[in-house]
């Protein structure tokens, strides 16, 4: 393993120690039901969180193109791409918007984003140069700005968490209060990115009630995020009424289970994914 790459739990603590000292952008997006926020991967989850502050709808990498091209509504108040890197899918999103005659904003942590020539405004959030796929400081920075939650409370909460041996199981399911569904989805994605041999999924409790975890499974761990969803079998609870607090706890627990071989796998597979998708990256990435 590259000795410069720390595990996720270290990045969580490092970021929490730094968030309050960073300078954040002034964002002049109007509050409106006619805002569009879009992103890919965890960026799509954070795009959803931006709608909680500004209003509007959020779109993911698989549906933004169809929605914009077939949509009847054309007079959007704003169209915004949420992308830590400002590259990858953000380039295609920005190009489509420009080709359709839309002005588009980029919400990013990259001072030199590959799609910079395609967007009207760039709202730059501070972050560390996280390792590929980590996106700890990047999206933590945005979530902290959005909700301004108590960082000291979160740090105390993390200090009281007991280590969970996720390797005892074959499948991890995150179920959350509906308010925090995006955090459940970021959690299962981070399992897939970070821990070899574990399957994962996640939903808000209303969605999860529709058959997803009705069958007992001795090889499954259900992690409940600020909810009391009824389920049999192996269950653990993380309860803190905070977007950043829940995400910090989830990433912290995952990091405690990372092995050096996991990080190597991530870097190797990421390189293949970049090549396969012909993603544009800047030097920062």
Q: 80-97, pLDDT tens digit by residue?
A: 999 999 998 999 999 999
Lowest-confidence segment of 49-58, 138-147, 210-219 by average pLDDT: 210-219
Instruction: Kindly indicate the confidence band of residue 175, based on its pLDDT and cuts at 50, 70 and 90.
Output: very high
What average pLDDT does the chain have? 92
The whole-model pTM stands at 0.93
Three-class DSSP labels, the chain: CCCCCCCHHHHHHHHHCCHHHCCCCCCCCCCCCCEEEECCCHHHHHHHHHHHHHCCEEECCCCHHHHHHHCCCCCCCEEEEECCCCCCHHHHHHHHHHHCCCCCEEEECCCCCCCHHHCCEEEECCCCCCCCCCCCHHHHHHHHHHHCCCHHHHHHHHHCCCCCCHHHCCEEEEEECHHHHHHHHHHHHHHHHHCCCCEEEEEEHHHHCCCCCCCCCCCEEEEEECCCCCCCCEEEEECCCCHHHHHHHHHHHHHHHCCHHHHHHHHHHHHHHHHHHCCCCCCCC
pLDDT at 3 over 90: no
């Amino acid at each position: 393993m590259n000795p410069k790459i720390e595990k996720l739990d270290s990045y969580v603590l490092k970021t929490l120690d730094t968030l309050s000292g960073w300078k954040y952008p002034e964002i002049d997006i109007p509050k409106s039901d006619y805002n569009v926020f879009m992103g890919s991967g965890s960026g799509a989850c954070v795009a959803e969180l931006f709608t909680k502050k500004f209003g509007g709808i959020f779109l993911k990498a698989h549906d933004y193109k169809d929605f914009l091209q077939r949509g009847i509504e054309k007079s959007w108040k704003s169209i915004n791409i949420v992308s830590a890197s400002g590259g990858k899918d953000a380039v295609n999103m920005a190009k489509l918007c420009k080709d359709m005659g839309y002005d588009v904003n980029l919400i990013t942590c990259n001072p030199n984003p590959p799609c910079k020539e395609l967007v009207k405004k760039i709202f730059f959030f501070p972050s560390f140069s996280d390792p590929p796929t980590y996106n700890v400081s990047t999206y933590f920075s945005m979530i902290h700005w959005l909700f301004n939650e108590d960082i000291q409370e979160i740090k105390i909460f993390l200090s009281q968490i007991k280590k969970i041996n996720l390797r005892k199981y074959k499948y991890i399911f995150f179920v959350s209060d509906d308010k925090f569904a995006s955090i459940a989805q970021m959690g299962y994605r981070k399992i897939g990115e970070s821990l070899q041999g574990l399957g994962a999924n996640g939903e808000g409790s209303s969605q999860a009630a529709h058959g997803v975890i009705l069958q007992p499974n001795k090889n499954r761990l259900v992690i409940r995020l600020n909810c009391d969803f009824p389920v049999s079998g192996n269950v653990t609870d993380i309860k803190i009424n905070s977007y950043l607090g829940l995400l910090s706890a989830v990433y912290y627990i995952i990091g405690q289970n990372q092995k050096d071989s996991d990080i190597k796998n991530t870097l190797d597979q990421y390189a293949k994914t970049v090549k396969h998708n012909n993603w544009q990256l800047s030097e920062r990435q």
